[in-house]
Amino acid sequence: MKFYDVSMPIHESMPVYNDNADKKPHIMIERDFVDGQGVRETRLSINLHTGTHVDAPLHMIYKGATTTEFKPEDFIFRARVIDLSFVEDSITAEILKNIDIQSGDFLLFKTRNSLTDGFEKNFVFIEKSAAEYLACKKVKGIGIDSLGIERSQIGHPSHVALLQSGCLILEGLRLKGVPAGEYVLLAAPIKIRDVEAAPVRAILVEPSWLADFLKGEFER
């Protein structure tokens, strides 16, 4: 396989944060075919933090930047999938210090979260010390295979540290079956103005495959 769809499918019985029924998406058919004639139209009601999505600073920072500040080039970049499947509880700074992390990196953390399709109350999360370490490293972005980057931390310090540093946050990735390594990440959010988050269709492409594909396209 040369590419991986690492997005969660949207449906009414999908897992949502804390299994809160109020956060489940609602899909309603407003018009449909009658005797094979007509059209179908469907209405989707969804919390913007459902499934795979990107957080804007306004999510946690008063008067922070909104999704309007996002640019297309912010969501096409090289990314590294880091295998942290050995982590039992939280990703800490001590764990990350064993990884070569450079300024401008976009890191996707693959954990045991990807092994379950439902909501796991004790999911692996990014602990405050790790978030502060990543912010100091000036990483471009991070992604994780849970519906939130943190749990049970008063004041949401992991979100705040990363968002204040300008780091993009992708939540709700599905990384089961994706080998650790380098990829091109395509993760453009829906273009919704002035909100604090937006759903994303995230796709990982092997760099060599993408180069060959583009070369073929331009030689046509």
Q: Is 53 a catalytic residue?
A: no
Q: Where are the beta strands (DSSP E) in the chain?
A: 3-5, 26-31, 41-45, 53-55, 76-83, 90-91, 106-110, 125-126, 141-144, 168-171, 181-186, 197-199, 203-205
- Contact between 158 and 169 under an 8 Å Cβ cutoff? The reply is no
The three-class DSSP label of residue 59 is helix
Catalytic residue among 49, 59, 156, 159: 59
Q: Name the H helices within the chain.
A: 93-96, 128-137, 157-164, 207-218
What does the chain come to in residues? 220
Determine the Cα–Cα distance for residues 144 and 142; give it in Å rounded to an integer: 7
Residues 6+ apart with CB under 8 A from 116: none
Q: List residues with catalytic annotation.
A: 59
